[in-house]
Amino acid sequence: METYKRLRDLREDADLTQKAVGALLNTTQQQYAKYELGVQEIPTRHLVTLANYYDVSVDYIVGRADWTDVQMYRFWKNRTEKEKQQIFHKLQAECEK
């Protein structure tokens, strides 16, 4: 049930109505309400759309990640390829000590 609570929490944190999220997903408010209530499974395509919209991972929405993971996801996502390589090499060097 954690998945459905996170759907509601993300929506409320963004000050959105179920109708607005339904429109974002090209579905009805009634259908979206079923996702939040856990009455119906949310399709993967909707999970991806919501993850992109809220700037979180699908893993966070489905309860496989916590808020710290979201912060790390956002940090990593906003790095250039060069920065990612530098961070990776520093971490690798630290792990080899």
* Secondary structure string (H, E, C) spanning 33-85: HHHHHCCCCCCHHHHHHHHHHHCCCHHHHCCCCCHHHHHHHHHHHCCCHHHHH
Which tokens go with 82? 């060069």
Give the other-Cβ count within 10 Å of 68's Cβ: 8
**pLDDT at position 53, please?**
96
pLDDT band at 51 (very low <50, low <70, confident <90, very high): very high
Binning pLDDT at 50, 70 and 90, where does residue 2 land? low
Q: 14 vs 3, 54, 91, 96, CA distance in Å?
A: 17, 8, 34, 42
7-41: burial string, b at 16+ Cβ within 10 Å, e else? beebbeeeebebeebbeebebeeebbbbbbeeeee
Residue 3 has pLDDT above 80, yes or no: no
State the average pLDDT for the chain. Answer: 91
DSSP character for 27? S
